[in-house]
Amino acid sequence: MEIIIKPDYNEVCEEAAGIIHHAWKKKNSLVLGLATGKTPLGLYKKLIALYNEGKIDFSSVATFNVDEYLGLEETHPQSFAFYMDNHLFRHININKVNTNFLSGRPDNIEEHCRAYEMQIRRLGGIDIQVLGIGVNGHIAFNEPSSSLSSRTRFETLTQESIKANAHFFKHEKDVPRFCLTMGVGTILESRMILMLASGKDKAKAVAGAIEGPVSASNPASALQLHPQAKFIIDEEAATKLVRKDYYRWKYESKDKGSDFLKK
C-alpha cells in the first residue's frame, strides 16, 4: 500500500486527479470505477477543470459506479446515477453509453449483478477504482461482515451508513435500507485503487484499514491485499495512524528510491 498524507482535502483531490490524469495520458483511454458521497466531490471538480483546460478527453473513458440504492429511479435526486450526472458527467464529454450503473430497480437482482460483472470484464477490467471509506470501514456498500471475496450483490445498509447519508435526504427515514454494491472481491480486481479520506470522523476506519488486521469487520482492510492500493488522506483522517511518520518519510523518499529501481 502507498499511504499519502496531504495537508488538506483540496490536496487529497489534487493528488487523485493527478494520478487519473497521468494514467489517461499513458493510455488515451481509461476504465474508471467511481464512488459517490461527499469525499469524491472535490476530485470530480478537479477532473472537470482538467477537461475545461483541454488536458483530458473523456470520450474514450468508461465508468462503473460501485453501488446504487434499491428502490430509487435513476432520475431520483438522491440516486447515485443522478449524483454522477449532476457532479461530473454533464460537465464533461463522456459518452453516456460508456457510463455503467447498477440499477435501483432491477427486474432480477442476481442476473443484473452478474451482467454488471460481465460488463466490467468485457471492457477489460477497471484501471483505477476511486473509493471513499465509511465511518464503519465500508467500501462501496460492503458493510462490516461482507465477505472479502464477495461479488456484486444485494446488501443491507447499517444504521451507521443510514445516519451518515441522512443529510442527503429530507428525513433519515427516507434513506433506502437496501442497495446493490460491487463486492469486495470485485473491487480488488481493479488494477489500481485510490482510497480517499478526509476528516476526523474517518480516522478510526482509516487506521483500522491500514494498520488493523485484515477483517470483514472493516471491509476497507481488504485493500491490504491489493498490490496497487493508494490511500490518499488528509491530516485529520491520518490522526490515528501509529506509523504516520514512516509513511510520510517513505513518500518523501520516493524519488530517491526510484533512482535505484531504474538501474
Among all residues, which ones are annotated catalytic?
67, 136, 138, 143
Binds ligand PGA (CB under 6 A): choice among 42, 132, 137, 208: 132
Residue closer to ligand PGA (CB basis): 24 or 179 = 179
Asked if 42 is part of the footprint of ligand PGA (rule: CB under 6 A), the reply reads no
The Cα 173–Cα 99 span in angstroms is 30
Whole-angstrom distance, CA of residue 215 vs CA of residue 212:
8
The verdict on 146 binding ligand PGA (CB under 6 A) reads: no
Residue whose entry in the numeric block shows the C-alpha cell 495537508: 7
Residues 6+ apart with CB under 8 A from 11: 234
- The type of residue at 153 is R
Q: Which of these segments, 81-89, 129-137, 227-235, 241-249, binds ligand PGA (CB under 6 A)? A: 129-137
**How many residues interact with ligand PGA (rule CB under 6 A)?**
6
Alpha carbon distances (Å) from 177 to 35, 79, 172, 181: 18, 13, 10, 13
Q: Is 37 in the site for ligand PGA (CB under 6 A)?
A: yes
Nearer to ligand PGA, 134 or 208 (CB): 134
Query: Which range binds ligand PGA by CB under 6 A, 31-39, 89-97, 211-219, 252-260?
Result: 31-39
Q: Which residues bind ligand PGA (CB under 6 A)?
A: 37-39, 132-134
